[in-house]
Amino acid sequence: MCGIAGIIGPKANQPNLRKMLEAQKHRGPDFTADWVVEGKVALGHNRLSIIDLSEGANQPFFSDCGNYVMVFNGEIYNYLELRKTLQSKYTFKTQSDTEVLLNAYRELGESCLDECNGMFAFAIWNVKEQSLFVARDRFGVKPFHYFFDQNNFYFASEIPTLFAAGIAKKPNDKVWLNFFSEGSYGLPNETFWTNIQQLEAGHFLTLQNNHLQIKKWYHFEERIAHLQNQFHQNEEEYITNLLLKAINLRFRADVPIGFNLSGGLDSSTLLALIDQQEIDKSTIEAFTFVTHDERYDELPWVKSMLEQRPYHLNICPLSANEIPDLSLKIAQMQAEPYGGIPTIAYSNIFKTASQKGVKVLLDGQGSDEAWAGYDYYLSNSQSIVQGVTKSPFRAGVLDGDFAKNYAKTHYPKPFEDALLNMQYRDLFCTKIPRALRFNDRISMMYGTELREPFLDYELVEYVFSRPTDFKIKDGIQKWMLRKIAEKFLQKDLVLAPKRPLQTPQREWLSEDLKAWVMAEVEVLKQNSWFDAKALQTELDHFFNGDNQSSFHIWQWINAAQILK
């Protein structure tokens, strides 16, 4: 995992590119380099060394024929298998997945993407054709942001990198309005900033002679339609093997590896599957965060799970008085709204891991979307927020002229089944895109790599395609996953319900941090998007006990910090 940046066009030069690389140097503290053809193309890379730590694997990476130059962020987990298919035609000078990916592209063109199991965003410059090829992985684990004014094309792993290049920081009113009104974070190609786009997950981009073209390469819907007619004699065993394979592939690294742990089913299943790997477990570190509030902390469950196991547990505490400084730091890094105090607490895991020299962490992200784990899947609700009984949004605080332009976001419904459409929405438009963005930024903030085995595409596709009663049966969600987990876990962990609240965010914002919240919201009263009086009324309601949800309060804090 790294940071990539580039400029195609007259403004391609080393000073501009180096400003961009400096802005995202936290993503790759091990090595930074660039390749520039003045006025035509500039490619840069911040390296976090994970596979093949040698200098030969540094980037920008050049093909041995000299025609291709690549910058790559991510990991190709099946690079060893791909390398075997290519080694009869290509001479490899490194042990890196970077070289495998570049040679796979040389051999197969865009079709190489179908052969890659991994998380990636990469750009390849073709010297002879003077063209750029860019691709992003199936679920968009790795980011790719760009700006194009028909003359210059800028790209980067993070939005602030584009600001550093001089791209205007102009809010996208439509995305912000929908965020306040319905909690959406924009469509898959949008950002919260005008003229800054993101390449959608499962898409590739080509640029030649100022002609930009974007195409979809990952056809999830077609793959699901195909798999729905396929069944294995022992489904439980087949899915278990997919899980074990996903874990095994993600343990490929030349640096120390750890994993994140909570008390829930996904995390405990991850632990159980790690147990099954033939590796030296005494070197693997476990991490969990706490807020020292027994209503929310999952430490008792975590300690129970680790009993009789060799993993050392790192407890990463967060206190209320840390929130003002950390929230601003993360807001500046994200440059878009993020997931509240749980995200801040989660960031402390990566900070601790980095301090201990653990460069790679695994977590359970993606299980709820594939296995139908959210409470609103049971009610067939169109909610996108877990664990609330009333609307978490307060659109009434918006100024009338701003609010009148609101249009509800409509998500695609490619399947006949309502549950599948909700899962599809969460995988490609809502839950997963925003969680992956939150987690990419907070992990890379400390130069650590996060891997999500439950988002292995073979696993997601197969589980997603199963009939409803594989996921929800007799009112029990993630039914088949629980059945598989029973082989490895105590029954009380297998049956544990999903807990939507992980930190005392409501209590801290309404009590411990009340003065800070008031000061941040005061900033918004000067913003033309808001009705100052209505904003204060809703804030008073929150402080006076209307705090089942604190989502709207966090929205306002995010806006105040990001729009400053």
**pLDDT tier, 389 (very low <50, low <70, confident <90, very high otherwise):** low
* Average pLDDT over all residues of the chain: 94
Ramachandran quadrant class, 192 (left: phi over 0; alpha: psi -120 to 50; beta: rest): alpha
Determine the CATH number of domain 221-390+410-494.
3.40.50.620
In sequence order, which residues have a C-beta less than 8 Å from that of residue 214 and are 6 or more positions away?
Answer: 199, 200, 203, 204, 205
In sequence order, which residues have a C-beta less than 8 Å from that of residue 439 and are 6 or more positions away?
Answer: 346, 363, 365, 450
Q: What pLDDT score was predicted for residue 108?
A: 98
Report yes or no: 393 and 552 within 8 Å, Cβ to Cβ: yes
Domain range list for the chain: 2-218, 221-390+410-494, 505-562
473 — phi, psi (to 5°)? -140, 125
Report yes or no: 104 and 115 within 8 Å, Cβ to Cβ: yes
Q: Distance between CA 200 and CA 56 in Å, rounded?
A: 31
Q: What pLDDT score was predicted for residue 280?
A: 87
Least confident of 209-223, 481-495, 527-541: 481-495
Read off the pLDDT of each residue in 61-74 and give the average, rounded to a whole number.
97
Residue 382 has pLDDT above 70, yes or no: no
Distances (CA, A) of 19 to 23, 163, 167, 336: 6, 10, 12, 21
**How many C-beta atoms surround the C-beta of residue 73 within 10 A?**
30
SS3 for 506? Answer: helix
As annotated, the binding site for L-glutamine includes 97
Which residue would you say has higher pLDDT here, 17 or 365? 17
Nearest to 102 by CA among 70, 147, 75: 70
Distances (CA, A) of 282 to 256, 279, 489: 11, 9, 20
Read off the pLDDT of each residue in 286-292 and give the average, rounded to a whole number.
96
Nearest to 461 by CA among 223, 230, 231: 223
**pLDDT tier, 498 (very low <50, low <70, confident <90, very high otherwise):** low
Residues facing residue 118 across a β-bridge = 76
Q: Distance between CA 410 and CA 556 in Å, rounded?
A: 24
Token digits of residue 177: 């309005």
Place of tokens 């607490």: 345
Read off the pLDDT of each residue in 397-407 and give the average, rounded to a whole number.
96
As annotated, the binding site includes 97
Is residue 316 annotated as part of the catalytic site, yes or no? no
**pLDDT tier, 268 (very low <50, low <70, confident <90, very high otherwise):** confident
Q: Which residues of 408-441 are buried (b: 16+ CB within 10 A; e: fewer)?
A: ebebeeebeeeebbbbbbbbbbbbbbbbbbbbbb
Report yes or no: 416 and 424 within 8 Å, Cβ to Cβ: no
- Count, residues in the chain: 564
Percent of the chain with pLDDT over 70: 96
Q: Distance between CA 143 and CA 334 in Å, rounded?
A: 12
* Side-chain-side CA neighbours of residue 424 (13 Å): 19
Read off the pLDDT of each residue in 531-549 and give the average, rounded to a whole number.
94
Structure confidence by residue, pLDDT tens digits, 433-489: 999 999 999 999 999 999 999 999 999 999 999 999 999 998 889 999 998 888 887
Read off the pLDDT of each residue in 545-556 and give the average, rounded to a whole number.
92
Residue 386 has pLDDT above 80, yes or no: no
Q: What pLDDT score was predicted for residue 564?
A: 83
In sequence order, which residues have a C-beta less than 8 Å from that of residue 281 and are 6 or more positions away?
Answer: 274, 275, 309, 310, 311
Determine the CATH number of domain 2-218.
3.60.20.10
Q: Distance between CA 29 and CA 98 in Å, rounded?
A: 18
How distant is the alpha carbon of residue 374 from its chain centre? 18
Percent of the chain with pLDDT over 90: 87
Structure confidence by residue, pLDDT tens digits, 160-218: 999 999 999 999 999 999 999 999 999 999 999 999 999 999 999 999 999 999 999 99
